[in-house]
Amino acid sequence: MFKPKYPPTDTAPAPAAPPSTVHSPVSLRRVVAPAPTEVASNRPAVQLTPGSTLTLVVGGAAVVLVVGAVLVSMLLAVAITAASVAVCAVTVRSILKSDRR
C-alpha cells in the first residue's frame, strides 16, 4: 500500500543512426523576420457613465469606512486589554505588598 508505483520503462525503439550529411556550398542569406505589429483589441474601452462613477465612489467610500471601523475596533480592544492588565498588575502588587506587612 505504501510502496511507490513507478511508471513502466520506456519501450520506444532505439534511435537510428543519423543520416550522413553532405556539405555543399550554400548561399548565406540573412532572413529578416517582419517587425511585430500591434494587434487591435476587439474589446471596447471602459466607459464610465455618471451612474457607474457614483456607484464606484459610494462603494469605495463604504469599503474605506468598513476597514476603518474594523481597525479602530481592533485598536480599542488592544487598549482595553492593556488597561485591564495594568489594573490587574497594580492590584496584585498591592495585595502582595500588604501581605508582607
Q: Mean per-residue pLDDT for 33-39?
A: 72
Q: What does the pLDDT look like over 41-85, one tens digit per residue?
A: 677 777 888 899 999 999 999 999 999 999 999 999 999 999 999
pTM value? 0.45
Residues with Cβ within 8 Å of 56's Cβ and at least 6 positions away in sequence, in order, are 48
Is pLDDT above 80 for 34?
A: no
Residue 12 lies in a domain: no
Which domain does 93 fall in, by range? Answer: 73-101
In a domain, 82, yes or no: yes
The pLDDT value recorded for residue 77 is 98
Closest CA to 76 of 86, 68, 88: 68
Q: How confident is the model at residue 40 (pLDDT cuts 50, 70, 90)?
A: low
Q: Is residue 56 part of a domain?
A: no
The domain tally of the chain equals 1
Structural domain contains residue 78:
yes
